[in-house]
Chains A and B, each alone.
Chain A
Amino acid sequence: MNRPHSTSVVLALVRAQLRLELRTFESLPAMCLFSVTSLVLFHFGLNRDQLSGDLASGVLWVTLLFAALLAINRIYVADAEQGGFDAFLMSPASRSTLLCAKLVVLLAYMALVELVVVPAFALLLLEPSLSQALPGLLGPLALGDLGVAVIGALVGALAVRTHARDLLGPLMSLPLLVPVLLCVAGWTAPLFDYPHAGAVAARWPLVLALYDALFGLIAFALFDFLLED
């Protein structure tokens, strides 16, 4: 029996998942459509053409987190419904490779959705220019996405094995995502201040990095047990 190399297993799983998404378009179009529609609704609901500071930051991140829930709910569905879990569990591959692969896929989904949503947000609602805020925004986007991906990869595996996965996914994810939301919103708000961007408090990146690392460790510790029948 050959022991597979973890990196090649992760890459193969990521490739298969992305190929499935390209064939079915089950997650990405829904995430983009949901996000842009939400921004339009915020535009009319708040009766504001332009947002800045805390409000702009909150609107952007709440929209992104809700869009992420769509992906979290779908990320393991093909594995559960088409036997991917069983086939994977019978292989000698380390079980953590599946967690890593789903984490990478969720990161990729979030990055792709943000390519659409951030410009749409700037166009519909943001008062300061995007070019001014964008360099600073890359940090919270990267660490925020990592937090979403780690929590999503863990919670998705738990929820998909239940009958009420569409309900349980968001119910379990949202409380765990609250600290991520607090940190990224707090980190982003000064970047959206108008007319001049404010200073970012150092605690937000630090707390968020710590939270991501902590949840990463918890996810790796628990994942094997989640896959047991």
Chain B
Amino acid sequence: MTLSVLGSNGAGKTTLLRLLATLLRPHAGEVTLLGKRLPDEGWAVRGRIGLLGHEPLLYRDLTARENLRLHSKLHATAPGRAAELLEAVGLSRRADEPLRTLSRGLLQRAAICRALLHEPELLLLDEPFANLDPAAREIVEPLIGRSSGKTRVLVSHDPASALAEADIVLGLVRGRAAFVARPSELSDDTVAQLYR
């Protein structure tokens, strides 16, 4: 199941993801995630969500393997899971180089490993394919794409690709929901309205 979030710059897409990731406290209204109310029960959902955002949330002076080793301890994941993911994203050969020396695309692959390390029930994806070339996109598709079968909240600035990935679409305008609909129920004009 994928919820795609659409909206113009500053509409609140990234803020919504940070709220769901328990990194921001809601000032008003209610947030319920995986059956738990946020922020009071945030402790119960931490470790069940994986966030892949604009920042890789990795230390640049450590290697991919060292970063993942740290995150393995934070999430108490099975030994070998990090190596398995590095292999899956094609980063094994460069896994012992400091991230500072890697390209943005390789950094994004390391960030994907970090987000998936603890096998989260819910994936929060903010422009997940940014900086990835078509070959890399193909590599990570089974991990974070539609074919992964994971429950995802997907933020994208590209309506066409977001609609193609979506089961449900949320349109945001200035931090408020303009619509919640299935992609088949949305006209081009309705989507275009979000960006005017």
Chain A interface residues (CB < 8 Å from chain B) = 1-5, 8-9, 11-13, 15-16, 19-20, 23-24, 78, 82-84, 86-93, 228-229
Contacts and interface: CB of A to CB of B under 8 A. Distances in A.
Given A83-B55, A86-B57, A5 B62 contact: no
B115 to A, nearest CB: 10
B59 interface: yes
B23 A89 contact: yes
Contacts, number: 90
16 contacts: A2-B75, A4-B73, A12-B74, A16-B70, A19-B66, A82-B59, A82-B60, A84-B59, A86-B55, A86-B57, A89-B46, A92-B47, A93-B74, A228-B25, A229-B23, A229-B24
Interface of B: 21-25, 43, 46-49, 51, 55-62, 66, 69-71, 73-77, 98, 114, 118
B44 to A, nearest CB: 9
Contacts of A84: 57, 59
Contact of A23 (B21, B51, B76, B98): B98
A221 to B, nearest CB: 17
B58 A82 contact: yes
Given A9-B74, A78-B59, A89-B23, 8 more contacts: A2-B118, A20-B59, A82-B57, A82-B58, A91-B47, A91-B74, A228-B25, A229-B24
Given A12-B74, A16-B62, A83-B55, A90 B23 contact: yes
Given A12-B69, A90-B46, A92-B47, A3 B76 contact: yes
Contacts of B49: 90
Nearest to A20: B61
Contacts of A24: 61
Contacts of B75: 2, 4, 91-93
A88 B74 contact: yes
Contacts of A15: 70
Nearest to A8: B73
Interface SS of chain B: loop
Nearest to B71: A87
B61 A90 contact: no
In this complex, the member of A3, A9, A16, A78 whose beta carbon has the largest number of chain B beta carbons within 10 angstroms is A16
A12 B49 CA distance: 21
A3 B71 CA distance: 13
A47 to B, nearest CB: 43
B77 A2 contact: yes
A195 to B, nearest CB: 50
A19 B98 CA distance: 11
A129 B55 CA distance: 54
Contacts of A78: 59, 61
B138 to A, nearest CB: 27
Nearest to A98: B74
A9 B25 CA distance: 25
A171 B62 CA distance: 31
Contacts of B74: 4, 9, 12, 87-88, 91-93
A82 B51 CA distance: 15
Given A12-B69, A12-B70, A86-B23, A92 B57 contact: no
A139 B185 CA distance: 74
A4 B76 contact: yes
Contacts of B73: 4, 8-9, 11-12
A25 B46 CA distance: 33
Given A1-B48, A3-B76, A13-B70, A89 B59 contact: no
B131 to A, nearest CB: 16
Contacts of B51: 86, 90
A88 B51 CA distance: 12
Given A16-B59, A23-B98, A87 B76 contact: no
A83 B76 CA distance: 20
Nearest to B121: A1
Contacts of A20: 59, 61-62
